[in-house]
Amino acid sequence: MIDTSFTNKEFSKMILGTMQFLWTVTTEKEAYAILDAYVDAGGTVIDTADMYTNWVPGLHGGEAETIIGKWMKRRKNRDKIILISKVRGRMWEGKEGEGLSRQHIMKAFEQSLKRLQTEYLDVYLSHWSDKETPIQETLLAYRELMDEGEVRSIGCSNYTKEELQEALKVGRTIGANYTHIEAYYNLIDQENFEQSILPLVKEYNLQVLAYGPLAGGFLTGDYRKDKPVPKNARAEFIKEKMTNENLHVISILEILAKKYEATIAQISLAWLLHKPYIAAAIIGTDTVKQLQENMQAIDVRLEQEDVKKLNNLSVDNQQENKTCKICYRIACKKCGWVATEDEVLQIQQGKLTACPMCGWKPK
């Protein structure tokens, strides 16, 4: 359930990520088309950061915010958009050119407002932690911005368990509470979030905005072992994901995609949105077509048994344990289906003799 107490705007389950702007989305015109398509599909939340996209040769940061600001001014729709931006990365030279000190936050915030052509941010996040600045100083700066009405809600991204725990405890004492957290989370990368961050999410009722829900594009199913990895900005990242265990996950997603008449990406996103602790998923995209297809994942209703199978599959993937529960082990030898505890009992009782996903029977 999404907590919208900080805003009177609708908070969509899909958030548009913009780190691709002027990186893999190479022109402002293409970025405007993606923004338009996102809103046309019912999207209301745009995620960015002041440093986007300073890793591209010739760019210095602020490019994504500038594009969003121009677009909102042209479309006259700021009152309908929930804007999320992040602060921490280097934006100018000198000691205070990066970090989470009060001095950096205040200057960076004013620059973000100017680029975005707005008077406030709906959500302002620490992009990652700053070990050189006491967390109390950071939170007091945020509280100052909230007291002025320039920021409606605060949060963080990429914090360790210990960093988040400290921030939440200090925030409670000074009245500057992180309420949103952006966390890397998807079907093949769950362990760190679930073991380290999820207990704090539940204890403090944090709103989780999951980034990387398609593992940088791997969970689209476009990358296979027998096909060369396309030469693009994400090629090396994708190569690291192409393990036997992860490709096994793709084979299961492919079966479910056929069952639900959906794409592999839509099944991956639908699984994520079924998680009760996930408020929304942040989707980045290079094309309007990709965006439109991914937005349709909201309408994919997975049966509970299929959700459980994907849950079990991901646990087994982390354990790298791939034998067969039809043979009283872990997964179907043909399609990789993973049995629930109830299904294991049915197998042992002789009530389940074939894989319910692909029909394979052990000899």
Q: Residue 35: which pLDDT band, with cuts at 50, 70 and 90?
A: very high
**Rounded-to-integer distance, Cα 32 and Cα 43, Å:** 14
**Rounded-to-integer distance, Cα 87 and Cα 89, Å:** 6
Dig out the tokens for 187 from the structure: 């079907």
User: Which residue type occupies 34?
Assistant: I
Task: With CA atoms as reference, report the closest residue to 180 among 2, 42, 38, 48.
Answer: 2
Question: Taken in order 232, 234, 237, 242, is the CA torsion positive or negative?
Answer: negative
**Rounded-to-integer distance, Cα 223 and Cα 238, Å:** 8
CA 58 to chain centre: 27
pLDDT tens string 271-323: 999 999 999 999 999 999 999 999 999 999 999 999 998 988 765 555 443 33
Q: Please, what are the domains in the chain?
A: 14-303 (3.20.20.100), 307-348 (no CATH)
**Rounded-to-integer distance, Cα 85 and Cα 293, Å:** 25
Global pTM reads 0.86
Q: Residue 241: which pLDDT band, with cuts at 50, 70 and 90?
A: confident
Q: What length does the chain have?
A: 363
Q: Look at residue 267 in the predicted model and tell me its pLDDT.
A: 98
CA 247 to chain centre: 21
**Rounded-to-integer distance, Cα 188 and Cα 248, Å:** 10
86 close to 49: Cβ distance less than 8 angstroms:
yes
The four Cα atoms 149, 152, 153, 157 give a dihedral, to 10 degrees, of -90
User: Which residue type occupies 273?
Assistant: L
pLDDT tens string 189-221: 988 899 999 999 999 999 999 999 999 889 998
To the nearest 10 degrees (0 to 180), the angle between helices 288-295 and 28-40 is 20
Beta strands in 159-295 (DSSP E): 178-184, 207-211, 278-283
Q: Which residue do the tokens 């975005």 mark?
A: 116
215 close to 253: Cβ distance less than 8 angstroms:
no
**Strand, coil or helix: 310:** helix
CB atoms within 10 A of CB 146: 18
More confident residue, 346 or 2: 2
Instruction: Describe the chain by its helix, strand, coil percentages, rounded to 5.
Output: 45, 15, 40
pLDDT tens string 321-348: 333 333 333 455 555 555 555 665 666 5
**Strand, coil or helix: 25:** strand
Mean pLDDT of the chain: 89
pLDDT tens string 43-84: 999 999 999 999 999 999 999 999 999 999 999 999 999 999
CA 333 to chain centre: 31
